[in-house]
Chain A
């Protein structure tokens, strides 16, 4: 039976190399011409604690993880108990009989495949940890995939570590494949059609896509402090930054992180920081500093469920209102929330250009699901990109009795030309106190009014300079979903599932959340039959924004805040229920 989506899930405890395995299998499927989506669940501990990693492969695009599993690989007994219910009818459970001599599985529709992963590692003289690699071999054997694909992948992944490491892994893969071919208890019922490898495809996580975008946009200074789920972006920058001439600093706290980035940006280089909600909380006062001194800054907030320490390794979209309002006083800022890895990449060009053009902070809002899961996309390119540093001057006219440069001169757009410190002849002060055009402190009401209005005026041009909400699916639909950020993937997958059943729904997706695209929203929502918001938070933050800016109250909200991303199948079911449609019997 050909499978639309083949979902492979490996389960064990943290430290078993589950993510390594899924990334290896994912790349193998990608190289086999398939669309791939990987998703990890792991506890906030280094070793131990239940962890899983899954790889979904499909000929059609796949943008979100699926709960239903075709092949479950369990490396310990607990994981069988926890996950066997996720198998589809007729699903296969592959387990290591050396770790689980007698698995207790009540379901009778499943095929149990005891594959002695531990023994196979011993036979090929590999460490026990390499059970993960053997299991990939077994999976490829069951699917009838050639191990050549994994061979190329191993060379790419481990080539730098030397031929020995490549060969060790390769042996483990081949031993697993041979065992599966020879000992499978039945014919494996799931078939994946291998396509031709498509050259211009890649499999990448949201955080890596942000890093790639930042490199392409010419970031020169990156500072970070470890905080899940932003840390993999710090790892990316540490790994690749130096090759691109980027100074990457792990600093002692998030306050130092953002202030160092503000200093570097003030001195003229493109600077960014990344953190999660807790770290963002520490950065709050300094966000206002960037705005007050009109210093460009890009801040990534990879959300996780809060408040406080919350659920460190899980996902949520609960920080939208927080980042929109963080820091005392009013100031112009931009909040964007990429919906997929391509948008992550593109968002960095936009964020740096907007930050430079408007000399104010830009917040890029992602989350654990988007940041740390991998998705298939076309290879990222910068063909239509440009670097816009905004109004920077190297010459100018000094004025005032003191002969300083009017860096904060009142302008129609609210943006004033800036010299970088060290520019001959144009000294000025960047000042967190309210200041005059030279940056000198003032408490004069008239000057305050001019400067505050000048800063806030940037929002007028900004409103025209940002992408508008996009509509996906048919123009006319029986129901319209509204989403922002990472919910785009599950929502689009739900749209496709429903379209296959002839159910016409569409999606309006928000990439820019602040300044809120009120006019477009009103236009897009006019004449819509039925509206449902889909958000990963408890209070319906987008729905609140829409009501605030359009007067439209959307009562029907699908909210999720259990730390897990939305699931397309569940979303589709929720839509069917709303439309009073019964699911047709499974084909």
Chain B
């Protein structure tokens, strides 16, 4: 038996990425792998659920158990995996179009249920794969291939939305700051409950407004200012800061809330549903008797 190799970033590599050079996805990919190494979570000890989009294409560059589902439907799949096997860490990787357009209902309801899932939301204001349409987080007036005179709607504020829905962990990261993002991801994966990590991620091809430089000029760490993530009112105030002025990153809010898994009786005996899966027909005579 060869000695197992030590866990490194390379342990999580499958194919080389095909994102555009400079894409913010590289930063998130790298920070995620580093966080997994830090947590000593091996590729076969977790499952990553991917959405559809450039972010979801991470399915092809990560070596792990994974599920690349339908556009917008990551969170229900993640919940299902957690309920079947609540000993398996589950991480969701999806974009803003996926999660806040098509999947915004699941976003709210998954937060309400609070399964132990880390949700990494790639937030770049555009749909990349389909050639630069605006996403739900694009600011009003944003010019895109399908809004040549500017977006009419107000943007979705994922931080505010998550706080309003009662999320137990609400955070924002920046793909251009690997060290901070890794630290944030470690905290999010360790959190018991649904942890939102909204990652600001420059799209170098289709978004010439929210560039790396633009972010570098605005991003500041919440840990460097007087912010108490246990205080919901402070989190609310930080969540409302206009993005075009200063952009706070880090943990906005974290609290203890019972997880979905901890409230379902069949999961309380120390064994997962999978471990309880019958391999023989189940005796139903007690129920049959009620119909006699």
Contact = CB atoms under 8 A, between A and B. Distances in A.
A242 B263 CA distance: 12
B70 A441 contact: no
B266 A266 contact: no
Given A246-B266, A259-B69, A264-B83, A216 B282 contact: yes
A165 interface: no
A310 interface: no
Given A387-B279, A440-B15, A242 B63 contact: no
Interface in A241-286: 242, 244-247, 249, 251-253, 255-257, 259-271, 285-286
Interface stretch (B190-198, B247-255, B284-292): B284-292
Contact of A268 (B66, B78, B277): B277
Interface in A334-390: 349, 379-380, 382, 385-387, 389
Contacts of B52: 432
Given A268-B84, A420-B274, A429-B68, A242 B265 contact: yes
B98 to A, nearest CB: 12
B161 interface: no
A217 B80 CA distance: 19
Nearest to B65: A421
A426 interface: yes
Contacts of A425: 44
Given A259-B70, A285-B70, A286-B70, A267 B88 contact: yes
Contacts of A221: 80, 83-84, 273
B270 interface: no
B227 interface: no
Interface residues on A, range: 35 or more
B105 to A, nearest CB: 6
B42 to A, nearest CB: 9
Nearest to B103: A255
Question: Which among A30, A253, A263, A293 has the greatest number of chain B C-beta atoms within 10 A?
Answer: A263
Contacts of A240: 287
Interface string A410-422: 0000000000111
Contacts of A199: 292
B253 to A, nearest CB: 23
Contacts of B273: 220-221, 245, 247, 264, 269
A421 B88 contact: yes
B211 interface: no
Given A218-B281, A404-B14, A430 B66 contact: yes
Interface in B7-56: 13-15, 43-45, 47, 49, 52
A217 B284 CA distance: 10
Given A203-B291, A430-B67, A422 B47 contact: yes
Contacts of A430: 66-68
B231 to A, nearest CB: 29
Nearest to B57: A441
A242 B265 CA distance: 7
B63 A403 contact: yes
A305 B181 CA distance: 53
B87 A422 contact: yes
B88 to A, nearest CB: 5
Contact of A245 (B47, B63, B82, B276): B276
Question: Which among A380, A382, A423, A427 has the greatest number of chain B C-beta atoms within 10 A?
Answer: A427
B79 interface: yes
